[in-house]
Homo-oligomer: A and B are copies of this chain.
């Protein structure tokens, strides 16, 4: 038995709510939560397949499928590494970048209203707390 922990419970509840919003916005753009996350990760990075899988906590084989489908849509591209012939780099196409920008704008527009119900000093507090929480 573990003691009740209202803070963990509130965090989990909030997570499910935000995830719900993200899933809905993703679906409106034919993106699963995972694809949405892939786009977020690759926005400012170029990663090999294994690294991407590690970021997402998924198997390489799962990544292959995700990349296949995104590549078929013209959002991502693959490139064999010149240094190591086994490695495949993955990165966003210009179209993918533009698309991701639009979708994440949508995310901001959707989530901002709830956050604006907080007082300004509460928003500052929350930002600090979230950053403290996700700092490694």
Contact = CB atoms under 8 A, between A and B. Distances in A.
Contact of A112 (B8, B10, B123, B134): B8
A102 to B, nearest CB: 9
Contacts of A23: 57
Contact of A105 (B2, B6, B40): B2
Kindly report how many copies of this chain are found in the complex they form together.
2
Contacts of A125: 125, 129
B118 A2 contact: no
A35 to B, nearest CB: 13
Contacts of A107: 8, 12
A134 to B, nearest CB: 5
Given A10-B127, A13-B134, A118-B132, 14 more contacts: A2-B108, A7-B123, A8-B107, A8-B108, A8-B115, A10-B130, A10-B134, A11-B130, A14-B133, A14-B134, A15-B19, A24-B57, A114-B133, A122-B129
